[in-house]
C-alpha cells in the first residue's frame, strides 16, 4: 500500500474505500467522491499504475488518497483492507463495493468452478468488508456500504449466468446486512444500466444499447457517481437499491442487450 496523502488536509474528513478504483466506473467513483469532499482509498488488484494515477489525481484535488492492493479472492487480504485504510487515513466511513468479476457463461455451459469464483469476488469479499467496517465502527458511530449491483436483476435473462447469480446474492445480502448491522452500518445498493463498452461489444453496439431505454439513454459514469455520493450521504437510506439505468429494467429482453445490438 502506497500512501500519497496530502499533508495539509484535515484529518477529520470522511474517508471512503472504493474497490476496483483504478479503472472504468471505479475510477469515476473514486474521483467523484474526492470532488464531493471525501478522502479515498483506491483499491486495485492488477491495475497498479492506474490506481496510483487515480490517487495522484485525488491528491491534486486537495484530498488525501492511498492506493491499496488486494486480491478479492483472498479472504485474509480482504479482511485486512479496512484496518490498513484506517491506519493510513485515520478513519473509514464508507466502502463502495464496485469491483466485480464479469465472465460469460450460460445455463448450457455452466461451470461450478466459475460460479464459485464469481461468488468469492462478487459476494464473499463485499460481505467480509462490511463485517470488518462494522467491527471498526464505534457503537455510536455511523458508516455506510454501497454495493454496485446491476439492472439485470430486475430484467432477467440467462446470459452471464454466474455473474447474475452472484449479483442476485449480493442484492439479497444488501437487505440482510442492513437489517443485521444497523444502526452502526447502513447498506445501500446502486444498480446501473449499460454504462460503458464491455467485453466484445462494439462502439456502435454500445451506442444502440445505451439508447434502448424509456428515457432514450441509460446510465453514464457521472450518473453512477451521483447516485453513489447520494447513497453515501443520505443518512435515512438503508436496505434498498437505487436503479440508475434510464429505465432499462422496464424493457424486457430475451438476451443481454450487448448481444442483441451486436447481431
Closest by CA position to 117, among listed 167, 163, 69, 164: 163
List of residues 6+ apart from 124 with CB closer than 8 A: 75, 78
State how far the Cα of 40 lies from the Cα of 63, in Å rounded to an integer: 8
C-alpha cell read off for 65: 488518497
Beta carbons of 21 and 44 less than 8 angstroms apart: yes
Q: Does residue 154 have an active-site annotation?
A: no
* Residue positions counted in the chain: 263
Choose the catalytic residue: 44, 104, 154, 163.
Answer: 163
| Residues forming beta bridges with residue 68, ordered by sequence position | 43
Closest by CA position to 238, among listed 181, 191, 193, 192: 181
Beta carbons of 168 and 115 less than 8 angstroms apart: no
The catalytic residue positions are 163
Amino acid at each position: 500500500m502506497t500512501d500519497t496523502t496530502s499533508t495539509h488536509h484535515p484529518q477529520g474528513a470522511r474517508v471512503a474505500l472504493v474497490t476496483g478504483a483504478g479503472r472504468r466506473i471505479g475510477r469515476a467513483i473514486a474521483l467523484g467522491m474526492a470532488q464531493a469532499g471525501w478522502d479515498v482509498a483506491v483499491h486495485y488488484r492488477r491495475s497498479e499504475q492506474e490506481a496510483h494515477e487515480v490517487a495522484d489525481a485525488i491528491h491534486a484535488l486537495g484530498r488525501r488518497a492511498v492506493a491499496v492492493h488486494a486480491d478479492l479472492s483472498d479472504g485474509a487480504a480482504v479482511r485486512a483492507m479496512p484496518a490498513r485504510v484506517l491506519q493510513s487515513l485515520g478513519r473509514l466511513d464508507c466502502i463502495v463495493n464496485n469491483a466485480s468479476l464479469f465472465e460469460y457463461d450460460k445455463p448450457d455451459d455452466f461451470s461450478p468452478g466459475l460460479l464459485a469464483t464469481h461468488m468469492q469476488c462478487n459476494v464473499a469479499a463485499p460481505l467480509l468488508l462490511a463485517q470488518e467496517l462494522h467491527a471498526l465502527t464505534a457503537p455510536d458511530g455511523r458508516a455506510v456500504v454501497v454495493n454496485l449491483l446491476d439492472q439485470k436483476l430486475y430484467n432477467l435473462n440467462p446470459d452471464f449466468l454466474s455473474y447474475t447469480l452472484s449479483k442476485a446474492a449480493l442484492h439479497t445480502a444488501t437487505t440482510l446486512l442492513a437489517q443485521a448491522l444497523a444502526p452502526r452500518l447502513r447498506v445501500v445498493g446502486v444498480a446501473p444500466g449499460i454504462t460503458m463498452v464491455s467485453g466484445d461489444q462494439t462502439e456502435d453496439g454500445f451506442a444502440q444499447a445505451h439508447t434502448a431505454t424509456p428515457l432514450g439513454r441509460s446510465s453514464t459514469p457521472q450518473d453512477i457517481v451521483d447516485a453513489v455520493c447520494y447513497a453515501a450521504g443520505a443518512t435515512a437510506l438503508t436496505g434498498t437499491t437505487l436503479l440508475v439505468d434510464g429505465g432499462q429494467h422496464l424493457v424486457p429482453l430475451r438476451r443481454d442487450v450487448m448481444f442483441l445490438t451486436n447481431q
